[in-house]
Structure 1
Amino acid sequence: MAQINPYINFNGNAEEAFLFYKSVFGGEFRQVTRFKEMESAEFPIPESEANKIMHITLPIGQNVLMGNDVPEFMGKVNENENRSKIAVSTESKEEADKIFNGLSAGGTIEFPISDSPWGSYFGMFRDKYGIEWSVDYDTKHNI
């Protein structure tokens, strides 16, 4: 079966964001590649971009959260876009609270975590890096 893994673009703070995500979810980075590692005669890297993240992965359960910094020559990422959310399904209310409270620290809560009208324990927020998340615990339909 196919697997879907979220991939997030950042404006130069991917490493900071992923260290934050790692502090909440735990685990170890599977891969960290910096732009300077990709430099060649055909692909010169400006010094200002050399230590930025070209690709980073953090396994979370059966999935992998991936990301990178967008090089300045490609323009800025709109960090306030509202096209998608990363949905986290948990195995308990306690885990939902831990993840919600950890990731929303310094961010903006859009829907406080609580018992929802549709029967699950649910909350939504935008983290301090502008990424939108939802956290859900549903004993009947946990994915």
Structure 2
Amino acid sequence: MSKITPYIHSEDARAQAGFYIQALGGEIKSVTTFGSIPGTPEENKDKVMHMQVDVGGNELFFSDSVFGPVQSGRSISLSVAYDKDADAREAFNKLSEGGQVKFPFDAQVWGGYYGELQDKYGLNWMIVIAP
């Protein structure tokens, strides 16, 4: 059996992970910095090489981008399914703070609820309640 874990490259992994933890709940499980590698330039020693985060019961990995700027796009979205309307709306509202709502969270013709946004870090999210 295999498992897919989103790996998010960030300009500020600690801040971005903290934003998702605040919006969805969770905690940082582990952090390794580039300073653990001999010969790392001083300006990169405190940067995150690998961070494991539990966000709303799901595992995400983060790393600071030290080899160039992060480029966001529409090639991938994180979809989060909820059972309760209040939980879904709260997550949608918190994740959209400082970001851009692409599709308002609302009832859909297929019987569920759906909303799409790009957060302030450029990551795309789909928030869903199945019918």
Tell me the TM-score normalised to structure 2 length. Answer: 0.91
Deviation by residue 1:60-105 (Cα, 9 ceiling, x = unmatched): 355301111121xx322212x1100011111211110111011111
Q: Partner residue of 1:115?
A: 107
Q: Partner residue of 2:70?
A: 77
Gaps of 5+ in 2: none
- Say yes or no: does 1:47 pair with 2:42: yes
Displacement of 1:4 in angstroms is 2.2
Q: Partner residue of 2:81?
A: 89
Displacement of 1:2 in angstroms is 2.8
> What percent identity do the matched residue pairs reach?
34
Runs of 4 or more consecutive aligned structure 1 residues displaced over 6 Å after TM superposition: none
Q: Show the 5 A alignment for 1:11-90.
A: 11=11, 13-37=12-36, 39-40=37-38, 44-71=39-66, 74-79=67-72, 81-90=73-82
Cα RMSD (Å): 1.4
Query: Residues of 2 paired with 1:84 and 1:64: CA distance?
Result: 17
Give the letter for the 1:18 counterpart: A
Tell me the TM-score normalised to structure 1 length. Answer: 0.84
Q: Partner residue of 1:8?
A: 8
SS in 2 for 1:16: helix
Aligned residues: 131
Q: Partner residue of 1:124?
A: 116
The answer to whether the 8 Å contact 1:3/1:63 transfers is: no
